[in-house]
């Protein structure tokens, strides 16, 4: 178990390495990667039962990054967790790389489901949790989704399924940054109130600060005490978190920084330390 301070330090390095990878690739999604970083780091380092030496360990917990475009954050988290060497992060999106633009379960160790087409990962994760329940397996499935992604109808079909099956072994975390490619989620197609929607669909919900490690950890603990239904954690986040000129800017959804911007971002993230 890591201390909150250690988790924050890991998250800082994850953001740095994710951004370096995006810069090297000349393309990628920094905004959503930075909003989801603290969620992924807290789960992979302090919550999930996984073994990077044995990515296919039979009773491991599983996480599906349904917002697959945040792959750089997932890859950097997996690398720092020990699944592969962080130097590989510079191969992001390059020909022949295991680190595809969107996660490929076939190529990248630790990736449990190939995602990229929004909404499908959420539904696949529900399938995984159903299978575990049928098989009597005592392990957890996590699915991390974006708030814009909630505009996909399949998410709500899957939400009904999860409630029907009483999937208390499933925890959804919504990276609630209120931005999508075309602007504010509230303007493009409002999904708020997210918690009330999931509650109406038969889920237990919690709202927390998605950048406060202690609050995230406390919320997971609360979520695991729910034994009769799936839980949705709506984590309030800031797109581009950690880099002043990227924060809360829709324009940084899918754009790589140039050399100057990378240098400035690394200073802000403490990359020069």
Partner 1 sequence: MADVKKIATRQAYGEFLAEYGAERKDLIVMSADLSGSNKTDIFQKAFPERFIEAGISEQDMLAEAAGIAHSGHVVAASSFAMFAAGRGYEIIRNSIAHTKANVKVCATHGGITVGEDGASHQTFEDIALMRVLPDMTVISPADAVSAKILLREEFEREGSAYIRLGRSGVPVVYSEDADIRIGKAAVLREGSDVAIIATGIMVAEALSAAETLAGEGISARVIDMHTIKPLDEEAIIRAASECKGIVTAEEHSVIGGLGGAVAEVTASKCPCRIAMVGQHDCFGESGKPAELLKKYGMTADDIVKAAKGLL
Residue ranges in contact with partner 1 by CB under 8 A: 64, 105-106, 112-114, 116-117, 119-132, 134-135, 153-154, 157-158, 160-161, 164
Would you say 10 or 63 has its CB closer to partner 1? 63
103 neighbors 110 (Cβ within 8 angstroms): no
State in angstroms the smallest separation of the CB of 107 from partner 1: 11
- Residue 272, SS3? coil
State in angstroms the smallest separation of the CB of 172 from partner 1: 13
194 neighbors 174 (Cβ within 8 angstroms): yes
User: For residues 171 and 150, what is the distance between their CA atoms, to the nearest angstrom?
Assistant: 15
Would you say 8 or 114 has its CB closer to partner 1? 114
Would you say 120 or 238 has its CB closer to partner 1? 120
242 neighbors 15 (Cβ within 8 angstroms): yes
State in angstroms the smallest separation of the CB of 82 from partner 1: 23
Helical spans, DSSP H, in 26-70: 30-46
Would you say 69 or 211 has its CB closer to partner 1? 69
Tell which residue, 214, 267, 243, has the closest CA to residue 5: 214
State in angstroms the smallest separation of the CB of 271 from partner 1: 35
Would you say 97 or 120 has its CB closer to partner 1? 120
User: For residues 4 and 42, what is the distance between their CA atoms, to the nearest angstrom?
Assistant: 9
CA angle 248, 14, 249 (to 5 degrees): 10
User: For residues 240 and 141, what is the distance between their CA atoms, to the nearest angstrom?
Assistant: 26
List beta partners, residue 209.
236
State in angstroms the smallest separation of the CB of 233 from partner 1: 20
Tokens describing residue 101: 């633009």
State in angstroms the smallest separation of the CB of 236 from partner 1: 27
Would you say 15 or 229 has its CB closer to partner 1? 229
């Amino acid at each position: 178990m890591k201390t909150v301070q250690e988790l924050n330090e890991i998250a800082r390095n994850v953001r740095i390495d994710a951004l370096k990878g995006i810069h090297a690739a000349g393309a990628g999604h920094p905004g959503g990667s930075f909003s989801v970083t603290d969620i992924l780091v807290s789960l992979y380092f302090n919550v999930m039962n996984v073994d990077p030496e044995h990515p296919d360990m039979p009773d491991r917990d599983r996480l599906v990054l349904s917002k697959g475009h945040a792959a750089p954050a997932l890859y950097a988290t997996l690398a720092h967790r020990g699944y592969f060497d962080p130097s590989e992060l510079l191969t992001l999106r390059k020909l022949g790389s295991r680190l595809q633009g969107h996660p490929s379960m076939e190529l990248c160790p630790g990736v449990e489901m190939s995602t990229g087409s929004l909404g499908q990962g959420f539904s696949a994760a529900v399938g995984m949790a159903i299978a575990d329940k049928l098989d009597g397996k005592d392990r957890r499935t996590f699915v991390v989704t974006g708030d814009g992604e909630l505009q996909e109808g399949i998410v709500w079909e899957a939400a009904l399924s999860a409630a029907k099956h009483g999937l208390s072994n499933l925890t959804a975390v919504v990276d609630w940054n209120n931005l999508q490619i075309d602007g504010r989620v509230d303007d493009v197609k409002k999904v708020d109130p997210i918690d009330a929607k999931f509650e109406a669909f038969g889920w237990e919900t919690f709202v927390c600060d998605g950048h406060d490690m202690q609050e995230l950890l406390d919320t997971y603990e609360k979520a695991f005490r729910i034994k009769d239904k799936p839980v949705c954690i709506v984590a309030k986040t800031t797109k581009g978190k950690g880099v002043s000129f990227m924060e809360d800017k829709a324009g940084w959804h899918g754009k790589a920084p140039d050399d100057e911007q990378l240098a400035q971002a690394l200073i802000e993230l403490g990359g020069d330390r």
